[in-house]
Structure 1
Amino acid sequence: MYKELPKLMMYRELGEDSIIVKLSEIIRDFDSGEYTKDELISRIYTEVHKLLEIATDYGFDKNLWQDYIAYTLVTNENPFTLTAERAGTVEGSVNSFAKEDMRIFNHLFSYDFSRLEKSLGIDCFSTITDYKSVHKRHQVYNRNVSKKVRDVSDSIVAINSVYEEERKFPQNFKNKSADDVAAEMLLDLVKEFYKAYGVGMLGLNAAFRIAETVPNQEFTAKKNIDFQIGRGISCTPIKNNNHLVLDDLVGYEIQKSRLRENTESFLAGNPANNVLLFGDAGTGKSTSIKALINEYYDDGLRMIELYKHQMKLLAPLISSIKNRNYRFIIYMDDLSFEEDETEYKYLKAVIEGGLETRPDNVLIYATSNRRNLIKETWNDTNDVDLDKHRSDTLQEKLSLVSRFGVTIPYMRPNKKEYEEIVRSLGSRLAEKKKASGEGFDMTEDELLTLANKWSVAHGGMSGRAAQQLIDSIT
């Protein structure tokens, strides 16, 4: 292993903390004979522990080593993989470098650790290559990531069967060795993956949040860090997304239609606008935006959540994603500004008016309980105020809303609409219970009576109140 890693060209930067790199160093020391047994075993266990952590995070199973090799291939960002992501095909001499890298990865994929186990009296490698994981709910790990990585791993297993075929039928490999055939097949596999999904955590994950970390902090292999936005600032995948789609939100058909229309235009590369969803609490504004990522992930949509106190990071964030082959929605929930807060200026500058124009692959979707986003005080409308430019200041604040080309109101339902939401959610619950062999014997009148009492005790009629009622019955 340690003799092959230095030959990597395109995938050379695996990271100092890569399990592959660390195990390579361990095997080099083992072959040199310059080691103490206990110390070497301790180092091995450290890497196996890291591998188990990654397997837990991503739901890997069976052969964890092979899943990790596949994971490395689909997450390694380098000039070859990024070009394949953007262009779909990669022409020229770079393919020959990448093919040689694939040859090495095929060898790593089938690496035999048995001599280490036999000499050191350990069996951890046998365990991780025939691993039986504890069943986990999908909320514990990112199911999308797990499936994609394991599909690639299974495909590499099939590719590596060519070596066995060469041993059985050497006459079929007179013109091209199994090593060459396997390298070409793996190269085609990863290029197809990059074309379909992209590379790195952006390719594997749908939603992200900004994580401000200690500058120059070293991240272990366990960390789900996608990329550095700036010094000490990273984009981190959100692994426990809900799986709601827009149709799961009862009512608000006009609002959902406008949201879909703008988003689909954006994904098609046509003109689209920044969107502000405003209105009463509990009406489904946030749910509507989050549902988009589940509907359009396969179309290249990615979502990055940004909090108000992180507004200053907008410009570096956009700079770091503008050349990626995805469509990004920067999502800001419950957006509003008090009179003395100035973070809104970062948002205004990015949306419109800054020196650098907003790239075509980025939009901002925000929700707010305030139509104008910024709290207007008596002083804002008091002509006697000492600030003679108060009118200009007020206009500056209110102009933020005009930067959103699409504004969609989400208002509280009336009694009839609220009861229709309750009926619909109740019907879904009844079907769910029936499918699981349970009964649901509450009549519609009983449900509506309970719903009206519930709304009085829980802040009024809203979709959120209706859902909370159904959850309480469940």
Structure 2
Amino acid sequence: NDFKIIFKMFNTDFSCLTLLQQNLINNFVPSKPVINQELFDISRSLQNSLTNCKDVNEFYDTLEKFFLTYGVGKFGLNKAFRYENNEICPIIHIGNGRLDQLIGYESQKKILTKNTEAFLSGKKANNVLLYGDSGTGKSSSIKALLNEYYKDGLRMIEIYKHQFKYLPSIIQELQSRNYKFILFMDDLSFEEFEIEYKYLKAVIEGGLEKKPDNILIYATSNRRHLVKQTWSDRQDQDEVNINDAKQEKISLSSRFGVKILYTHPNRQNYLEIVDGLAKQYNLQIPQEELHQKALTWEIRYGGFSGRTAKQFINAMLGR
């Protein structure tokens, strides 16, 4: 009965309105800038589908399918979140990058997507550590997963290491949701005096409470073993069991079942990235001139990397 009323309201004839009011309705534009274009497009698609419904049953089925696919509330209407003020809050401004826009690193992306797709399909999947050189696309690869798999129920929570002590509370809130969550930890590393990694170790594997099947941890780091090690560790006169101390420091990274290495591209790969980005942004410059400028930029601003290539293209677009 409720849907009969809603269906009738949705199909009400507004021809009785004044010409000015009709013009406002027929030429509706958002009153604010569109922040999340994908969600805006999804909402418009729903509106069009409802407009084409012939009866209340079709109207009901369309809404039911929509909410089964995208859900409701903050987890249904947003892709990414962060933990602040003791609650999970949506991140409104997020990038629209996709994996195919990340040029190169095909084998790395294949491993990452295969693990993620297994996770989304309800199969067993591993926590993932992306490690290696800076500026090579580790963080971009993980963030691109949101745009690839949002419609499949993937959501991402950004967690900082000073918040690791709240991980049990965060997991408790997420475990009963009908979504798949990736806890994203960017630029993860620890100095010798930082002990937050112990909370993370317990959550990943080792605590009494089982980590829910709808949660995985994806992290990036420039270090493979995450916890800083020094030469003095090998000659520690205070530690009786030196090997135990070393194992303590590398035990965190061993809890990530999949470890993916990202290294700096060589000269040719760097230029391929530059060419790909120039094509994406429709930058009209002869290739020979583009390569010459890109190599000059690389010498001045930090070596061969995807980040350097992106910064170079940004500079060219700004001229």
Q: 1:256 to 1:152 in 2, by over 3 A?
A: closer
Query: Is residue 2:275 matched to residue 1:402?
Result: no
Deviations 1:365-405 (A, max 9, x none): 00001111111123322242x23245323311211000001
Residue aligning to 1:312: 165
SS at match of 2:260: strand
Query: Is residue 2:39 matched to residue 1:145?
Result: yes
Unaligned runs of 5+ in 1: 1-98, 112-125, 163-181, 213-232, 434-439
Unaligned runs of 5+ in 2: 13-20
Q: What CA distance in whole angstroms lies between the structure 2 residues aligned with 1:292 and 1:459?
A: 27
User: Retained in 2: the 8 A contact 1:339–1:377?
Assistant: no
Residue aligning to 2:68: 195
User: Please, which of 442, 456, 460 is the counterpart of residue 299 of structure 2?
Assistant: 456
User: Retained in 2: the 8 A contact 1:144–1:205?
Assistant: no
Aligned residues: 307
Report matched runs for 1:55-454 at 5 Å: 102=3, 130=25, 132-133=28-29, 137-138=33-34, 141-152=35-46, 182=56, 187-212=60-85, 233-384=86-237, 386-429=238-281, 432-433=282-283, 440=284, 442-454=285-297
SS at match of 1:236: strand
Q: What CA distance in whole angstroms lies between the structure 1 residues aligned with 2:272 and 2:315?
A: 18
User: Retained in 2: the 8 A contact 1:380–1:391?
Assistant: no
TM score, norm. by length of structure 2: 0.86
Q: What CA distance in whole angstroms lies between the structure 2 residues aligned with 1:309 and 1:107?
A: 52
Q: Residue 323 of structure 1 aligns to which amino acid in structure 2?
A: S
User: Retained in 2: the 8 A contact 1:207–1:304?
Assistant: yes
Q: What CA distance in whole angstroms lies between the structure 2 residues aligned with 1:303 and 1:203?
A: 12
Query: How many Å apart are 1:361 and its aligned residue?
Result: 1.2
User: Retained in 2: the 8 A contact 1:144–1:204?
Assistant: no
Q: What CA distance in whole angstroms lies between the structure 2 residues aligned with 1:146 and 1:425?
A: 26
- Bigger CA drift: 358-367 or 412-421? 412-421
SS at match of 1:281: coil
Q: What CA distance in whole angstroms lies between the structure 2 residues aligned with 1:308 and 1:329?
A: 15
Deviations 1:226-251 (A, max 9, x none): xxxxxxx2222222221111111111
Q: What CA distance in whole angstroms lies between the structure 1 residues aligned with 2:110 and 2:45?
A: 35
User: Retained in 1: the 8 A contact 2:239–2:245?
Assistant: no
Residue identity over aligned pairs, in percent, reads 49
SS at match of 2:165: helix
Q: What CA distance in whole angstroms lies between the structure 2 residues aligned with 1:259 and 1:185?
A: 39
RMSD: 2.7
Q: What CA distance in whole angstroms lies between the structure 2 residues aligned with 1:152 and 1:444?
A: 44
Q: What CA distance in whole angstroms lies between the structure 2 residues aligned with 1:421 and 1:468?
A: 12
SS at match of 2:259: strand
Query: How many Å apart are 1:150 and its aligned residue?
Result: 4.7
Deviations 1:197-254 (A, max 9, x none): 1221212222111122xxxxxxxxxxxxxxxxxxxx2222222221111111111111
Q: What CA distance in whole angstroms lies between the structure 1 residues aligned with 2:236 and 2:224?
A: 23
Q: Residue 257 of structure 1 aligns to which amino acid in structure 2?
A: K
Select the structure with the greater relative contact order (CA < 8 A; seq sep ≥ 6).
2
Q: What CA distance in whole angstroms lies between the structure 2 residues aligned with 1:444 and 1:259?
A: 32
Query: How many Å apart are 1:270 and its aligned residue?
Result: 1.4
- Bigger CA drift: 241-250 or 188-197? 188-197
Query: How many Å apart are 1:444 and its aligned residue?
Result: 2.2
Q: What CA distance in whole angstroms lies between the structure 1 residues aligned with 2:249 and 2:95?
A: 34
User: Retained in 2: the 8 A contact 1:305–1:332?
Assistant: yes
